[in-house]
């Protein structure tokens, strides 16, 4: 389930954003702005022992060196719109809901780099299969 969500989030962001998407923070200074799919958590959800289900949180960071916050906030808003999902079936699972539950911005200690943090909550269950 965890890998499925990361793959799905990556594919959605890659298809809809024009900036690089990583699962690590690159050292290369030429990548700004960029997005990082970060840490996640998984907790079992539901009471049907025959169907896998879970509550997942996914962290996403946006990095920018644009003077000001416009670029950072624009990318963060785009990501929220892309990942606001309900009743979406993917890879044999049904995403019941995916929504942004937290966002914030910070100026890094170098005084140049800005970082936006987003956390999404996802309720997912194994899709019904025909016998």
Q: Do the Cβ atoms of 30 and 11 come closer than 8 Å?
A: no
Instruction: For residue 19, tell me if it sits in a domain.
Output: yes
H-type alpha helices, the chain: 2-16, 70-82
Instruction: For residue 31, tell me if it sits in a domain.
Output: yes
Q: Divide the 131 residues of the chain into consecutive groups of 10 and give the mean pLDDT of each group.
A: 89 96 88 95 79 91 96 98 92 93 96 97 84 44
Instruction: For residue 55, tell me if it sits in a domain.
Output: no
65: helix, strand or coil: coil
Tokens 């606001």 sit at which residue? 84
H-type alpha helices, 17-130: 70-82
Instruction: For residue 6, tell me if it sits in a domain.
Output: yes
Instruction: For residue 100, tell me if it sits in a domain.
Output: yes
- Please confirm whether the linkage preceding 60 is cis (ω < 30° from 0): no
Q: Which residues contact 68 (CB under 8 A, 6 or more apart)?
A: none
| Proportion of the chain in helix, strand, coil states, percent, rounded to 5 | 25, 45, 30
The pLDDT assigned to 129 comes to 63
The pLDDT assigned to 118 comes to 98
Count the domains in the chain: 1
Instruction: For residue 131, tell me if it sits in a domain.
Output: no
Instruction: For residue 58, tell me if it sits in a domain.
Output: no
- pTM for the model stands at 0.90
Give residue 70's domain range. Answer: 2-50+63-126
Structure tokens at 130: 């025909």
């Amino acid at each position: 389930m965890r890998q499925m969500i990361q793959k799905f989030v990556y594919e959605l962001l890659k298809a809809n954003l024009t900036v690089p998407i990583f699962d690590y923070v690159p050292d290369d200074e030429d990548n700004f702005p960029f997005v990082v799919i970060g840490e996640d958590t998984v907790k079992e959800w539901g009471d049907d022992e025959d169907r896998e289900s879970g509550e997942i949180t996914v962290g996403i960071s946006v990095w920018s060196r644009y003077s000001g916050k416009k670029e950072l906030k624009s990318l963060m808003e785009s990501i929220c719109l892309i990942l606001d999902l309900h009743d979406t079936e993917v890879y044999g699972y049904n995403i019941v809901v995916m929504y942004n539950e937290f966002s914030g911005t910070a100026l890094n200690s170098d005084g140049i780099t800005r970082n936006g943090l987003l956390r999404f909550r996802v309720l997912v269950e194994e899709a019904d299969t025909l016998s």
